[in-house]
Structure 1
Amino acid sequence: MVSLKRIYTLSGLAIAIVVLAIIAFTSWYTVDESDQAVILTFGDAEDTITEPGLHFKMPWPIQSVEKLSKETFSLQFGYEEQEGEIKDFPDETKMITGDENIVLADLVVQWKITDPEKFLFNAEDPEEILYDGTSSSLRSIIGSSQIDDALTSGKAQIEADVWDLLTSLVEKYDIGISILAVKLQDVELPNEDVRKAFTDVTDARETMNTKINEAEKYKNQRMNEAQGEVSAIKSRAQGEQEARLQGARGDVAVFNSLYEEYRNSPEITRERLMLETMEQVLPGSEIYIMNDDGNTMKYFPIRPLEKEQQKPAAEGSENNE
């Protein structure tokens, strides 16, 4: 028979081996680059470890380690994507806009754990709280928005407002997470007939805006052309005004000059003016100045002689060519 002493010895040895094994396997841990760890001493959180590598601690059950990811998570509200297939939850996404229209809206929230201790102990299920906060924020913002904004150009503003409201709720709940981004996936009307009617209205509005823009463009073009014509007319008028002023100044100067000559030599100036006027009134006519004293009239043909002299000169220039 085995003695009691031997039994006690073997039992003590077995217990010692178990204790040593527990100490050996629970006194160290590793943290990956994508992880962060919280050290728990008798269940009470103490240190948060974010540096990757091998670390040591007190053996279990004195201390234990909870590891959490540092990566970015995505919360899908209103749908679920698994293995490339998308499953919608229309009851969750159905909500009323500020102008009392029904729309279906779903979105994605990107978030990450920034305070592991609060994430582990400030709430029983932080992800459920985040989901409910997302639903509340989206419904609140959609409920204060117009349907046109929700379906068309107002999505960016809705996303920004949802992010602001959701961030404030998460900070209030103090669950150790941060909201990185909010992205609306789909905002649509609940059935095909309503969607078609709204699409027709939207197309008509876009056509109206296009026509208004074209009309404004044509108006601006015509206004620019009219302004150009006005400027050209003003420029021509100013040029004509200046030309007439210069002509008038020239006429005044000529008149003053003639008047001065007339004052000095009235008879000669009068005859000169008469001859110049006759040349203007009878262009191309030959004018002869004669001194008729009652006897035989004497006349010197100056113009025919000038013409005779001009003919040889013209023939010579032609021969040279």
Structure 2
Amino acid sequence: MMSLKRIFITAGLSLVIILLGITAFTSWYTVDESEQAVILTFGKVNEGISEPGLHFKLPWPIQDVQKLSKETFSLQFGYDQKNGEIVDFPDETKMITGDENIVLADLVVQWKITNPGSYLYNSEDPQQILYNATSSSLRSIIGSSRIDDALTSGKAQIEAEVRDLLISLVERYDIGISVTAVKLQDVELPNDDVRKAFTNVTDARETMNTKINEANKYRNQRTQEAEGEKDAIISRAEGDRAARIETARGDVAKFNALYEEYKVSPEITRKRLVLETLDQVLPGAEIYIMSEDGNTMKYLPIRPLEKQTQTAPKDSQEGSGN
């Protein structure tokens, strides 16, 4: 039979071997590139490890390690996609807009674990908290938006506002999660009749905008034409004014020159002016110079000579043509 001492020695050696095995197997751990770890000392969060590779820690049960993924996760709000099939949850996505219309809105939230200790121990279910915060943020923003903005051009603004509100809520809850992106998937009306009515309203609004744009285009065209006509009238008026000014200056110069002649020979100048005026007023009249006794004086027949001079070149041209 084995002695009691040998039994104690064997048990002690076995215990030492077990402790050495536990120390050897629990003092080293590895972290992949897609992982991050948190060290627990007697159950208390000590530090986080994000560098990949082989790391050392105190043996269990003094220190323990928890590993979490670094990947980006997707939270699908309002629907679920499994095996290529999409299942909608209309009761979760039904919301009331700021102008008291009902819409169905769903979105996708991209998130990552950035603080493993807070993610593991600050809340019982951080993903559920994120889901509830997403629902609250989306309903809050949709509830303060108009239906036109939610269905048409305001989606980008709604996404940005939901993202900002959701980030602030997650930071306040301190659940170790960071929101990286928010994508608004679909915003729809609850049934076909409402969708058809809203489509008719949208088409009418687009038609109205088209007509307004056409009217503005026509107005701009007519305004440009009127501006062009105005500029042309002003240009003609400026030209006419300049011409009248130059004509007036010429008349003044002519009058001054005539006045100088008049001062030298008043009687001759007066008669010449009378004859020139008669020639201008009555261009076809025959002028006779009368003597003081009333008899007609002989004068050189200038008019017949002018007529002969004008008809002579014509006759010569006809003769040469023959």
Q: Same fold (TM over 0.5)?
A: yes
- 1:32-86 alpha-carbon deviations (Å, 9 max, x no partner): 2232211111111101112222111111221111112233222110111223322
Specify whether residues 101 and 300 from structure 1 end up closer, same or farther in structure 2 by C-alpha distance, changes over 3 A only. closer
- How many pairs does the alignment contain? 318
Which is worse superposed, 161-170 or 209-218?
A: 161-170
CA distance in 1, matches of 2:78, 2:311: 109
Equivalence for 1:259: 259
Equivalence for 1:133: 133
Specify whether residues 94 and 309 from structure 1 end up closer, same or farther in structure 2 by C-alpha distance, changes over 3 A only. closer
Equivalence for 1:231: 231
CA distance in 2, matches of 1:143, 1:101: 9
Query: SS where residue 107 of structure 2 aligns?
Result: strand
Query: SS where residue 58 of structure 1 aligns?
Result: coil
Specify whether residues 310 and 244 from structure 1 end up closer, same or farther in structure 2 by C-alpha distance, changes over 3 A only. closer
Matched, 1:198 2:204: no
Equivalence for 1:120: 120
Equivalence for 2:155: 155
Deviation at 1:212, TM superposition (A): 0.9
Which is worse superposed, 197-206 or 110-119?
A: 110-119
Specify whether residues 304 and 145 from structure 1 end up closer, same or farther in structure 2 by C-alpha distance, changes over 3 A only. closer
Amino acid at match of 1:39: I
Query: SS where residue 129 of structure 1 aligns?
Result: helix
Query: Does the 8 Å CA contact 1:41/1:64 hold for their aligned counterparts?
Result: yes
Specify whether residues 247 and 104 from structure 1 end up closer, same or farther in structure 2 by C-alpha distance, changes over 3 A only. same
CA distance in 2, matches of 1:103, 1:155: 13
Query: Does the 8 Å CA contact 1:27/1:57 hold for their aligned counterparts?
Result: yes
Query: Does the 8 Å CA contact 1:290/1:298 hold for their aligned counterparts?
Result: no
Equivalence for 2:88: 88
Quote the sequence identity (%).
75
Deviation at 1:158, TM superposition (A): 1.5
Equivalence for 1:246: 246
Equivalence for 1:144: 144
Equivalence for 1:109: 109
Query: SS where residue 257 of structure 1 aligns?
Result: helix
Equivalence for 2:317: none
Structural RMSD (CA): 3.3
Specify whether residues 140 and 15 from structure 1 end up closer, same or farther in structure 2 by C-alpha distance, changes over 3 A only. same
Deviation at 1:275, TM superposition (A): 4.5
Equivalence for 2:182: 182
- 1:161-215 alpha-carbon deviations (Å, 9 max, x no partner): 2122222221221112222222110000111111111111111111111111111
Equivalence for 2:167: 167
Specify whether residues 279 and 69 from structure 1 end up closer, same or farther in structure 2 by C-alpha distance, changes over 3 A only. same
Which is worse superposed, 282-291 or 182-191?
A: 282-291
Deviation at 1:254, TM superposition (A): 1.0
Query: SS where residue 46 of structure 1 aligns?
Result: strand
Equivalence for 1:52: 52
Equivalence for 2:221: 221
Query: Does the 8 Å CA contact 1:290/1:299 hold for their aligned counterparts?
Result: no
Residue segments in structure 1 that go unaligned for 5+ positions in a row: none
Specify whether residues 53 and 223 from structure 1 end up closer, same or farther in structure 2 by C-alpha distance, changes over 3 A only. same
CA distance in 1, matches of 2:308, 2:151: 99
Amino acid at match of 1:189: L
Specify whether residues 89 and 278 from structure 1 end up closer, same or farther in structure 2 by C-alpha distance, changes over 3 A only. same
CA distance in 2, matches of 1:269, 1:32: 122
Equivalence for 1:77: 77
CA distance in 2, matches of 1:217, 1:18: 91
Which is worse superposed, 236-245 or 273-282?
A: 273-282
Deviation at 1:268, TM superposition (A): 2.6
